[in-house]
């Protein structure tokens, strides 16, 4: 069985970060070790959340693992809360990623044109440096614009714009870029039937290949779906799916989770009901995994 380590916060209520990564990646048949970077009562979209920083635990945890000879097939980092944590992750990747572990970095810090509370442009530039160490980075268009220091374009862009963003992200140094949340207002040359959908664009910087996957756009968006996406992508890569099949499964699982949420009344408005979408994930994985 493959073993991964994921490093992000515990938001005790909120259905994001470790409370989605752990169940999802485990359910995909992959051992999931964790380093919790902080404990919050909820994610930061709630008012009045508590926050206990666990930065001082990160190095002692990994030093114990080094003594025990523990190794990982993948390293997946998500929400990181400080410059110090970014530096620690850079060191962690050097130590635990040297023997070929897949490095997935989700530069989780922004959406819909704005940074999440507590983040700054300066932090985004440091996150961009960490992304240079990744095999796969999975930003949304907002995170891309902060890391590239380019204006956020909410709509009306074309395929050439997205390709340009992909190339600029790849120039940060990551081997593969998976860009989320691409929405075209008009049909685009070389792509078919994209209007009204939401998509993922990828660039493999080693081959120069650009690839796409468009799926249904839901009427409502929810918190934590980026974490679900990155978790499924990491789990699927570990189960032997191609990058394209991994992000297609991740996108479809997010859609199914949103549909489940909307079908449950009353549903919460802070995260999605991925729990009842598991049958779809497991069935697709069983059909596609190596
Ligand atoms: O889903 C991303 C995320 C993770 N962790 C915390 C957050 C957020 C988004 O706001 O606040 C603590």
Average pLDDT over residues 84-110: 98
Q: How far apart are CA 160 and CA 163, in angstroms?
A: 5
Region of residue 18 (left: phi > 0; alpha: psi -120 to 50; beta: else): alpha
Contact 239 CB / ligand 1 (< 6 Å): no
Q: State the closest ligand 1 atom to the C-alpha of 17, by its place in the atom list counted from 1.
A: 4
Q: Is the pTM of this model over 0.75?
A: yes
Residue 179 in tokens: 């860009």
Residues 61-77 pLDDT 10s: 999 999 999 999 999 99
pLDDT band of 113, cuts 50, 70, 90? very high
How many A from CA of 51 to the centre of ligand 1? 12
Share of the chain above pLDDT 70, in %: 100
pLDDT of residue 102: 98
Quote the mean pLDDT of the chain: 97
Q: Express each pLDDT in 123-163 by its tens digit.
A: 999 999 999 999 999 999 999 999 999 999 999 999 999 99
> What pLDDT does 7 receive?
98
**Residue 140 CB–ligand 1 contact under 6 Å:** no
Distance CA 204, CA 137 (A): 11
Give the model's confidence band at 256: pLDDT under 50 very low, under 70 low, under 90 confident, else very high: very high
Angle between helices 18-27 and 278-288 (to 10 degrees): 40
Q: Report in angstroms the alpha-carbon separations of 196 from 48, 158, 184, 186.
A: 37, 14, 8, 9
Which whole number is the average pLDDT over 251-259? 97
Q: Are 41 and 50 in contact (CB under 8 A)?
A: yes
User: Relative to the CA of 116, which ligand 1 atom is closest?
Assistant: 10
> Is the CB of 44 inside a 6 Å radius of any atom of ligand 1?
yes
Q: Is residue 290's pLDDT more than 90?
A: no
Is the Cβ atom of 43 under 6 angstroms away from ligand 1?
yes
Rounded mean pLDDT, 116-123? 96
Q: Is 110 in the pocket of ligand 1 (CB under 6 A)?
A: no
pLDDT at 207: 97
**DSSP secondary structure letters along 144-178:** HHHHHT-----S---HHHHHHHHHHHHTTT-SEEE
Give distance in angstroms: CA of 81 to centre of ligand 1: 9
pLDDT of residue 142: 98
Q: Verify whether ligand 1 is closer than 6 Å to residue 2 (CB atom).
A: no
* Mean pLDDT of the 83-99 span: 98
Q: What percent of the chain has pLDDT over 90?
A: 98
Give the pLDDT of residue 45. 93
Structural contact between residues 148 and 131, judged by C-beta atoms closer than 8 angstroms: no
The finding on whether 40 has its CB within 6 A of some atom of ligand 1 is yes
- Name the residue among 226, 233, 225, 215 with its Cα closest to residue 269: 225
Ligand 1 contact via 109 beta carbon (within 6 Å): no
For 155-200, the pLDDT digits (tens) are 999 999 999 999 999 999 999 999 999 999 999 999 999 999 999 9
The predicted pLDDT at position 210 comes to 98
pLDDT tens digits for range 10-55? 999 999 999 999 999 999 999 999 999 999 999 999 999 999 999 9
Does ligand 1 lie within 6 Å of residue 230's CB atom?
Answer: no
> Which residue owns the Cα nearest ligand 1 atom 8?
43
Categorise residue 181: left if φ over 0, alpha if ψ from -120 to 50, beta otherwise. left
Q: What is the pLDDT of residue 130?
A: 98
């Amino acid at each position: 069985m493959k073993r991964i380590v994921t490093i992000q916060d515990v938001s005790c209520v909120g259905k994001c970060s470790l409370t989605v990564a752990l169940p999802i990646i485990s359910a995909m048949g992959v051992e999931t070790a964790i380093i919790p970077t902080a404990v919050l009562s909820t994610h930061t979209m709630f008012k009045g959340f508590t926050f206990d920083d666990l930065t001082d635990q990160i190095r002692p945890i990994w030093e114990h693992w080094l003594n025990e000879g523990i190794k990982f097939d993948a390293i997946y980092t998500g929400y990181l809360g400080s410059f110090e944590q970014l530096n620690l992750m850079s060191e962690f990747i050097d130590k635990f990623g040297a023997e070929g572990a897949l490095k997935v970095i989700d530069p989780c810090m922004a959406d819909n044109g704005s940074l999440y509370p507590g983040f700054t442009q300066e932090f985004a530039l440091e996150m961009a440096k960490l992304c240079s160490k990744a095999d796969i980075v999975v930003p949304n268009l907002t995170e891309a614009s902060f890391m590239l220091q380019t204006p956020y374009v909410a709509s009306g862009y074309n395929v050439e714009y997205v390709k340009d963003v992909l190339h600029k992200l790849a120039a940060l140094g990551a081997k593969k870029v998976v860009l989320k949340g691409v929405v075209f207002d008009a049909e685009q040359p070389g792509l078919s039937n994209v209007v009204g959908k939401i998509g993922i664009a990828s660039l493999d910087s080693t081959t120069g290949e650009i690839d796409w996957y468009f799926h249904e756009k839901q009427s409502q968006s929810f918190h934590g779906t980026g974490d679900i996406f990155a978790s499924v992508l990491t789990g699927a890569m570990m189960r032997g799916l191609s990058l394209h099949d991994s992000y297609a499964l991740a996108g479809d699982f997010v859609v199914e989770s949103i549909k489940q949420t909307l079908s449950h009344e009353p549903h919460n408005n802070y995260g999605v009901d991925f729990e009842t979408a598991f049958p779809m994930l497991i069935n697709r994985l069983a059909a596609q995994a190596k």
